């Protein structure tokens, strides 16, 4: 079964160089009995915040493009229902387990880190795919296949084709061919 090291208790900082020449950054930190992932989205020049439970289940997602307030703010309750923070229920997203973003591989990494798969096994999930430009969010099926302990196959949100990616000890994407190359891994111990 896939086993990755837990994220460190103090902030973990990571950056990837994207194929389009831009950079995506990520900070993961433990707070309020769960994880907060905050990052940038390359050339989209947007930022995101994802609040996850201790077991990496998405609880809240916020997208900031050009304002101090979130352009998109979604929450997921314990029964799996999604809604906007203004109270509007997003029934089309019910059953989605995760958020997927095009310009930062953290969302894919969080899914993989949580999946209890053995080598050569796969899982089909419904994820909420966010279009940063239009703020459209749609439910889409994704398959994640574990090839071995650190190699996985999935449909890349970045290049919309199936890729094989290598992951680090935390379950974060190191390199995704044609999309991302890890630039920085900064932990408090390094």
List pLDDT tens digits, range 172-185.
Answer: 999 999 999 998 66
pTM for the model: 0.91
Average confidence (pLDDT) over 21-47:
94
Residue 5 lies in a domain: no
Instruction: Tell me the per-residue pLDDT of 70-101, one tens digit each, with 9 for 90 and over.
Output: 999 999 988 889 999 888 899 999 989 899 99
Instruction: Tell me the per-residue pLDDT of 54-63, one tens digit each, with 9 for 90 and over.
Output: 999 999 999 9
Strands 23-31 and 34-40: antiparallel
| Angstrom distance (rounded) from CA 103 to CA 64 | 14
Render 39-100 in DSSP notation, one character per residue. EE-GGG--EEEEEEETT--EEEEEEESSSSS-SEEEEE-TTS-EEETTS-B-GGGTT--EEE
Domains identified in the chain, total number: 1
Judge whether residue 2 has pLDDT over 90: no
Residue 131 lies in a domain: yes
Domain of residue 93: give its range: 12-186
């Amino acid at each position: 079964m896939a086993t990755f090291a837990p994220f460190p208790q103090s902030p973990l900082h990571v950056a990837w160089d994207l194929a389009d020449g831009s950079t995506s950054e990520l900070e993961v930190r433990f707070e309020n009995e769960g994880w907060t992932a905050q990052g940038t989205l390359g050339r989209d020049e947007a930022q995101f915040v994802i609040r996850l439970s201790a077991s990496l289940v998405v609880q809240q997602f916020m997208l900031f493009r050009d304002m101090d307030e979130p352009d998109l703010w979604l929450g997921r309750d314990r029964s799996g229902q999604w809604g906007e923070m203004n109270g509007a229920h997003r029934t089309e997203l019910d059953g989605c387990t995760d958020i997927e973003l095009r310009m930062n591989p953290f969302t894919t990494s969080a899914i993989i880190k949580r999946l209890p798969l053995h080598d050569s096994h796969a899982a089909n999930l419904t994820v909420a795919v966010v279009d940063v430009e239009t703020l459209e969010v749609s439910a889409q099926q994704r398959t994640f296949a574990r090839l071995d302990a650190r190699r996985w196959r999935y449909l890349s949100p970045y290049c919309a084709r199936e890729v094989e990616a290598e992951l680090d000890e935390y379950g974060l994407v190191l390199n995704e061919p044609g999309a991302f190359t890890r630039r920085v891994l900064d932990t408090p111990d390094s």
